[in-house]
Chains A and B, each alone.
Chain A
Amino acid sequence: MAAWFRRKTDGSEGKPSRVHIAEGLWIKCDSCKEIVYRAEVERAGRVCPKCLYPFRVSARERVALLADPGTFEERDTNLETTDPLGFRDTKKYRDRVRAAVEKTKTDEAVVTGVARIGGVPAVLCVFEFGFLGGSMGSVVGEKLTRAIELAIDKHLPVVIVSASGGARMQEGILSLMQMAKTAAALERLGERRLPYVSVLTDPTTGGVTASFAMLGDIILAEPRALIGFAGPRVIAETIRQPLPEGFQRSEFLLEHGQIDFIVDRRELKETLRRILAFFAGEPPRSG
Chain B
Amino acid sequence: MPDALDFEEPLLELENRIAALQAEDDSPRVREEIAKLEERLHRQRQKTYASLTAWQRTQLARHPKRPHTRDFLRLLFEDFVELHGDRLYGDDAAIVGGLARFEGQGIVVIGHQKGRDTREKIARNFGMPHPEGYRKALRLMQLAEKFGKPILALIDTPGAYPGIGAEERGQAEAIARNLRAMAALRTPIVAIVTGEGGSGGALAIGMGNRVLMLEYAIYSVISPEGCAAILWGDAAKAPEAAAAMRITAPDLLRLGVIDAIVPEPLGGAHRDWDASAAAVRAALRDQLADLTPKSSEALVAERYEKFRRLGAFEETAVERGGA
Write the residues of chain A forming the contact surface with B, with a CB cutoff of 8 angstroms.
1, 3-4, 6-7, 10, 59-60, 63, 72, 74, 77-85, 87-90, 101, 104-108, 111, 113, 138-139, 141-142, 145, 167-181, 183-188, 190-191, 206-207, 209-215, 228-231, 234-235, 238-239, 241, 243-244, 247-248, 256-258
B183 touches which of A85, A183, A247 (Cβ 8 Å): A183
B313 within 8 A of A: yes
Asked if A169 and B169 make an inter-chain contact with CB atoms under 8 angstroms apart, the answer reads: no
Among residues 203 to 217 in chain B, which have CB atoms less than 8 Å away from a CB atom of chain A?
203-204, 207
Q: Which of A139, A184, A212 has the most CB of B within 10 A?
A: A184
Asked if B220 and A172 make an inter-chain contact with CB atoms under 8 angstroms apart, the answer reads: yes
Q: A105-B321, A174-B311, A214-B173 are in contact. Are A4 and B230 (CB under 8 A)?
A: yes
Asked if A59 and B323 make an inter-chain contact with CB atoms under 8 angstroms apart, the answer reads: yes
Q: Which residue of B lies closest to A172 (CB)?
A: B245
B308 within 8 A of A: yes
User: Measured between C-beta atoms, what is the minimum distance from A78 to chain B in Å?
Assistant: 5
- Complex Cα distance, B207 from A28, in Å, reads 46
Asked if A179 and B200 make an inter-chain contact with CB atoms under 8 angstroms apart, the answer reads: yes
B175 within 8 A of A: yes
- Complex Cα distance, B95 from A206, in Å, reads 21
Asked if B180 and A183 make an inter-chain contact with CB atoms under 8 angstroms apart, the answer reads: yes
- Complex Cα distance, B215 from A111, in Å, reads 39
Asked if B221 and A72 make an inter-chain contact with CB atoms under 8 angstroms apart, the answer reads: no
- Complex Cα distance, B316 from A84, in Å, reads 16
22 contacts between A and B (CB under 8 A): A4-B230, A78-B319, A90-B232, A111-B321, A138-B311, A138-B312, A167-B221, A169-B222, A173-B257, A174-B255, A177-B257, A180-B207, A184-B183, A190-B180, A210-B204, A211-B175, A211-B179, A214-B172, A214-B176, A215-B176, A229-B171, A235-B164
Task: Enumerate chain B residues within 8 angstroms of A139, measured Cβ to Cβ.
Answer: 311, 313
Asked if B176 and A209 make an inter-chain contact with CB atoms under 8 angstroms apart, the answer reads: yes
Contact indicator per residue, chain B 290-314, by CB within 8 Å of chain A (1) or not (0):
0000000000000110011011111
Q: Which residue of B lies closest to A234 (CB)?
A: B162
Asked if A141 and B321 make an inter-chain contact with CB atoms under 8 angstroms apart, the answer reads: no
User: Measured between C-beta atoms, what is the minimum distance from B89 to chain A in Å?
Assistant: 12
Task: Enumerate chain B residues within 8 angstroms of A78, measured Cβ to Cβ.
Answer: 315-320
Task: Enumerate chain A residues within 8 angstroms of B12, measured Cβ to Cβ.
Answer: none
Q: A82-B313, A84-B312, A90-B231 are in contact. Are A1 and B176 (CB under 8 A)?
A: no
B163 within 8 A of A: yes
Known contacts A180-B179, A210-B204, A211-B200, then 19 further A-B pairs from the complex at CB < 8 Å, ordered by chain A residue = A80-B320, A82-B312, A90-B231, A90-B233, A106-B322, A111-B321, A138-B311, A142-B311, A167-B200, A176-B221, A177-B203, A178-B310, A179-B179, A210-B175, A215-B177, A229-B171, A231-B162, A235-B167, A258-B170
Asked if B321 and A239 make an inter-chain contact with CB atoms under 8 angstroms apart, the answer reads: no
A210 touches which of B176, B222, B255, B317 (Cβ 8 Å): B176
Q: Which residue of B lies closest to A173 (CB)?
A: B257
B227 within 8 A of A: yes
B287 within 8 A of A: no
B160 within 8 A of A: yes
- Complex Cα distance, B171 from A248, in Å, reads 12
- Complex Cα distance, B315 from A101, in Å, reads 16
A-B pairs, 8 with minimum CB distance? A230-B162, A138-B311, A84-B312, A183-B179, A184-B183, A107-B320, A107-B321, A209-B172
- Complex Cα distance, B179 from A180, in Å, reads 6
Task: Enumerate chain A residues within 8 angstroms of B304, measured Cβ to Cβ.
Answer: 184, 188
Q: A172-B245, A181-B310, A211-B179 are in contact. Are A74 and B220 (CB under 8 A)?
A: no
- Complex Cα distance, B164 from A227, in Å, reads 13
Q: Which residue of B lies closest to A149 (CB)?
A: B308
Asked if B246 and A85 make an inter-chain contact with CB atoms under 8 angstroms apart, the answer reads: yes
Task: Enumerate chain B residues within 8 angstroms of A257, measured Cβ to Cβ.
Answer: 170
Task: Enumerate chain B residues within 8 angstroms of A213, measured Cβ to Cβ.
Answer: 172, 176
Asked if B230 and A7 make an inter-chain contact with CB atoms under 8 angstroms apart, the answer reads: yes
B199 within 8 A of A: yes
